[in-house]
């Protein structure tokens, strides 16, 4: 699946990873690579990318509503106030990935972020967006990096501020998901689609 594009069941050319399920197609077409702003929205994406580490994204995508229910819609102030009882509830919740280290990192990150000024997470993440004009357009999936200088710098900045489970690979996946970079392959229909705001 490393060719330029594959057509989905509807005949639309997409990045090869996006055509194996309706869930992937919808996520690819409607979200992946579109700009995401707002501290809570970015906290959600950062948390989900951390949970994805070592797993397939479809596993996270299919549990997304479960994650949202379990983590109070990823509203930072609410998650920061979670108690030990909430931690135990999360560890027993079959609607999410019950990985203790990832759950604890998500809770700890909320407590850190609750002390930041409004918009500070958004500003920090987006300050690491590379100049799109300077990046080559990927022709195939083989042209898409897993880590970049910018994602390494973002990872270091987040860790320095006390966040956990934010390595360079996770940071790059966040950059892809939240539209800091456009890694839709050259002939993908979504590459030329309006990016919204």
Task: Given the residues 32, 49, 150, 172, select the one marked as catalytic.
Answer: 49
| Percent of the chain clearing pLDDT 70 (strictly above) | 95
How far apart are alpha carbons 101 and 164 in whole angstroms?
10
> Which tens digits make up the pLDDT trace of 82-136?
999 999 999 999 999 999 999 999 999 999 999 999 999 999 999 999 998 888 9
Instruction: Check if 120 is active-site.
Output: no
Contact 152, 139 (CB under 8 A): no
Instruction: Check if 27 is active-site.
Output: yes
What is the SS3 assignment for 166? Answer: coil
How far apart are alpha carbons 160 and 140 in whole angstroms?
34
How far apart are alpha carbons 96 and 71 in whole angstroms?
10
> Which tens digits make up the pLDDT trace of 128-170?
999 988 889 999 999 999 999 999 999 999 999 999 999 999 9
The predicted model gives 39-46 an average pLDDT of 98
Would you state the structure tokens that stand for residue 170, as one six-digit string? 């996770």
Residue 2: is its pLDDT beyond 50? no
**Predicted confidence band of residue 193 (pLDDT cuts 50, 70, 90):** low
For 172, other C-beta atoms within 10 Å of its C-beta total 24
Residue 43: is its pLDDT beyond 60? yes
Task: Given the residues 27, 78, 116, 186, select the one marked as catalytic.
Answer: 27
CB crowding 42-64: b at 16 or more within 10 Å, else e? bbbbbbbbbbbbeeebeebbebb
Instruction: Check if 116 is active-site.
Output: no
* Chain centroid, CA 101 distance in Å: 18
Helices (H), 133-185: 149-160, 168-177
Task: Given the residues 31, 57, 78, 126, select the one marked as catalytic.
Answer: 57
Would you state the structure tokens that stand for residue 59, as one six-digit string? 């596993």
């Amino acid at each position: 699946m490393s060719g330029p594009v594959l057509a989905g069941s509807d005949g639309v050319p997409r990045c090869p990873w996006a055509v194996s399920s309706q869930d992937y197609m919808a996520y690819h077409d409607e979200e992946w690579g579109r700009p995401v702003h707002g501290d809570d929205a970015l906290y959600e994406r950062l948390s989900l990318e951390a949970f994805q580490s070592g797993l397939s994204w479809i596993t996270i995508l299919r549990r997304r509503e479960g994650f949202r229910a379990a983590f109070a819609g990823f509203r930072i102030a609410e998650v920061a106030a979670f108690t030990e009882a909430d931690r135990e509830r999360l560890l027993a919740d079959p609607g999410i990935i019950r990985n203790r280290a990832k759950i604890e990192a998500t809770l700890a990150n909320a407590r850190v972020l609750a002390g930041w000024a409004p918009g500070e997470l958004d500003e920090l993440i987006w300050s690491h967006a590379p100049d799109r004009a300077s990046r080559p357009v990927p022709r195939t999936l083989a042209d898409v990096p897993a880590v970049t200088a910018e994602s390494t710098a973002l990872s270091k900045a987040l860790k320095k501020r006390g966040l956990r489970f934010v390595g360079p690979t996770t940071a790059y996946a966040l950059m892809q998901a939240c539209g800091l970079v456009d890694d839709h392959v050259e002939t993908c229909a979504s590459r030329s689609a309006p990016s919204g705001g």
